Amino acid sequence: MMRHINWRLVAGKVLFYAAITLVAAFVIMPFLWMISTSLKSQEGIKTVPIHWIPQNPTVEGYSRVFSMTNFSFPRAVFNSFFLSVMGTAITVLCASMAAFIFSKVPFKGRERVFSLFLATMMIPGTVTMVPNYIILNYLGLLNTFTGLILPSIFSAFSVFMLRQSMMGLNDAYLESAVIDGAPLHKIFYKIVMPMVKPTVATLILLSFMGQWNSYLWPMLVLQSPEKQTLQVVLGTMSSMYGGNEHIQMAGAVLSVIPILIVYLFSQKYVDRGIAIGGLK
């Protein structure tokens, strides 16, 4: 007996996969063009018609990036990596402790305090830059990595995300640990944190991306060339090499690599962590 084919269902699936393939092509096309341009010479960029595959590939753009005189590209990469790692570590540590208190430690007015804390998410980050800058100037922390990382201590979004995940944990685990005499800090890092590992991994990825791609705040706080981050140096390169797109694209390709590496290591946790964190 021949099986009846639901042509409407088949057509729907075909249209769906065609649509997401088209969207994926539009998303990945700029990245492929960036790689292609970085491997071209200055003359090859101006060639008409445009060639997606470089006819005479060259690494001139990458060598020019590492031989800049005004800025040290390796130093900028190190600065961005150091600041991103430190900022992410501080954000995750502070947010996880706050989320644990707001989710598992009852105290009077807890929900009101958390609602007030959460309301700060409505304030745009650009609004708080001027007060933060004034405070850092008063404390003498301008042009220091400490001043740049200090605002990472406060992240309402990170606290909300981790709190939603911790709220789903069964209190029986914590009650058993309390009965066994476990102190609060051991309950936190030996029981709670391992159980919210997917959300923590997702938060690490999001925080690292935010720190790595930050441009305006590092440009305001850090004035010394040897302390500039990668994104600030890339912004400066756009004016230094205005007619040399292959050099700019080479720098952009190098700036994307750390994000891809971090994502590959945390990919399997991202979808689950976002769903558990209450963002689904």
How many other C-beta atoms lie within 10 A of the C-beta of residue 30? Answer: 10
Do 29 and 123 lie in one domain? The reply is: no
Residue at 123 is within a domain: yes
pLDDT band at 95 (very low <50, low <70, confident <90, very high): very high
Q: Which carries the bigger pLDDT value, residue 5 or residue 172?
A: 172
Average of per-residue pLDDT across 115-121: 87
Give the pLDDT score at 89. Answer: 93
Q: Domain residues for 48?
A: 7-61
Do 111 and 34 lie in one domain? The reply is: no
Do 230 and 156 lie in one domain? The reply is: yes
For the stretch 238-274, pLDDT in tens is 777 767 788 888 888 988 888 888 888 777 766 665 5
Residue at 2 is within a domain: no
**pTM, to two decimals:** 0.83
Count of structural domains, the chain = 2
Do 207 and 264 lie in one domain? The reply is: yes
Residue at 1 is within a domain: no
Q: Which carries the bigger pLDDT value, residue 6 or residue 209?
A: 209
Residue at 146 is within a domain: yes
Do 180 and 254 lie in one domain? The reply is: yes
Do 26 and 157 lie in one domain? The reply is: no
Do 139 and 188 lie in one domain? The reply is: yes
Q: Which of 16, 32, 61 is the last residue of a domain?
A: 61
Do 16 and 99 lie in one domain? The reply is: no
Please report, rounded to a whole number, the percentage of residues in the chain having pLDDT higher than 70.
93
For the stretch 180-221, pLDDT in tens is 888 888 889 888 998 888 888 888 888 999 999 999 899 999
pLDDT band at 1 (very low <50, low <70, confident <90, very high): very low
Residue at 203 is within a domain: yes
Average pLDDT, the chain: 85
Task: Residue 103: give its domain's CATH number.
Answer: 1.10.3720.10
